Amino acid sequence: MYKYVLRRVIQAIPIFFGITLLSYALMANTPGGPVAALAFGANLKPSEVEALKIQLGVNDPWPIQYLRWLVGDDWLRWDTDGDKLADRSVLIGITGPNGEPLPPGDRRGILRGDFGISFVRSRAVLPIILERLPASIELGVSSLVVGASIGILVGVIAAVYHDRWFDHITRVLAVVFDAVPIFFLAILLLLIFGAQLQILPLGDRCRVTMDPSCPPIFQRLEYLILPTFVLATGGISAYSRFMRASMLEVVSQDYMRTARAKGLNSRTVWLRHGARNALIPIATFLGPAIAGIWGGAVITETIFNWPGVGRTVVAAVTSRDYPIVMAATVFAGISTILGYLLSDILYGIIDPRIRFD
């Protein structure tokens, strides 16, 4: 197992670089680019705009720009003719993390944790992402646990009571929840439980006070109910349908008939012998589910005013804050790779017969 995990990690390295290469190529070919975003509304002279292009290095071929973004430029000094007109801190007021000017050729690259400086927030990108990551992890893990738990449980019960009223109702609800857009469901629940019944808050992560920090999660569960349910509906519908189908396939296996012939009770037959083997196909969906949380969180966090990475990315896209967008893309790629690696590992945990020799 350890050799297999190590081999999968090594195989993930070229996948990671492929994601970064494709993402940067798309960003480099975006109309306007970072120079237009930085120079917009700054009343810069054409010579200053050209100097800004030189300082940012956007006049170089995009593969060179990609390498500079990836591994940094502190090993390669460029724009060394002493022209300080290209200094962004002089032109548009952007400074470093501690307020210092940004000297040319002082980037370390994303492989060393330097994602650049936000165009809008004038701060290093990595601290911005890390500040909002706990809120996104809190919402994402909650929705993943709720979606998987309820979906698997509903799928098992639907298979046990096959062709009964519970089976038919859950199948219809699964299709409905899968078809309804997340933003529509979120607004509908806010109108019902927030505006009309007023039993749940309309948004935010906690009560707005002078203290920017939120209390422990058990003291603000009411703020987590609606966004978690909205983000978990897709998982509930998917897991319930696939678990039901997998359980119905397992029922016809010989070991299930043998368990019944031994006189085991129905709970042991269905849960110990049936559900455990039916979970093997479900492990396949954990990888995409982890990646899908990022996509769903963008909409959910925006609607519920949740202070996470998703809402920050939406604001960065609308304001053309390229460093934050690229950092979020890298984090999403890493989470996708780790999610699929987790799915492969779960195969061996759920079914000991599987060997990765």
Residue 78 pLDDT? 46
Q: Which position has the token pair 């993390």?
A: 97
Distance CA(332)–CA(337), nearest Å, equals 9
Residue 121 pLDDT? 83
CA dihedral of 191, 197, 199, 203, whole degrees rounded to 10 = 20
Q: Which amino acid is at 232?
A: A
Structure tokens at 255: 């070991």
Q: What is the distance of C-alpha 275 from the center of its chain?
A: 29
Residue 60 pLDDT? 74
Global confidence as pTM? 0.78
Q: State the 10-residue block means of pLDDT for the chain, 357 residues long.
A: 77 89 83 69 69 71 82 60 43 44 60 84 88 89 90 89 90 90 91 90 82 81 91 89 86 77 77 76 75 76 90 87 88 85 75 58
**What's the start-to-end Cα distance of the chain, in Å?**
8
Residue 192 pLDDT? 93
Q: Which position has the token pair 């061996």?
A: 348
Burial annotation 168-204 (CB, 10 A radius, 16+ → b, else e):
eebbeebeebeeeebeebbeebbeebbeeeeebbebe
Residue 255 pLDDT? 77
Task: Pick the closest to residue 173 from 244, 221, 223 (CA basis).
Answer: 244
Residue 83 pLDDT? 47
Structure tokens at 323: 């460093």
Residue 97 pLDDT? 43
- Assigned fold of 126-350: MetI-like fold (1.10.3720)
Structure tokens at 69: 């973004």
Residue 107 pLDDT? 66
Distance CA(81)–CA(84), nearest Å, equals 9
Structure tokens at 52: 């800004």
Q: Which position has the token pair 């548009």?
A: 92
Burial of 254: CB neighbours in 10 Å, binned 0-12, 13-18, 19+: exposed
DSSP-derived secondary structure letter, 119: T
Q: What is the distance of C-alpha 322 from the center of its chain?
A: 18
β-pair partners for 124: 117
| Spans of all domains in the chain | 31-114, 126-350
Residue 90 pLDDT? 41
Structure tokens at 270: 């269905």
Helix, strand, or coil here: 202? coil
Residue 1 pLDDT? 67
Residue 296 pLDDT? 67
Backbone angles phi, psi at 157, to 5 degrees: -65, -40
Alpha-helical segments (H) within 92-189: 125-160, 165-179, 182-189
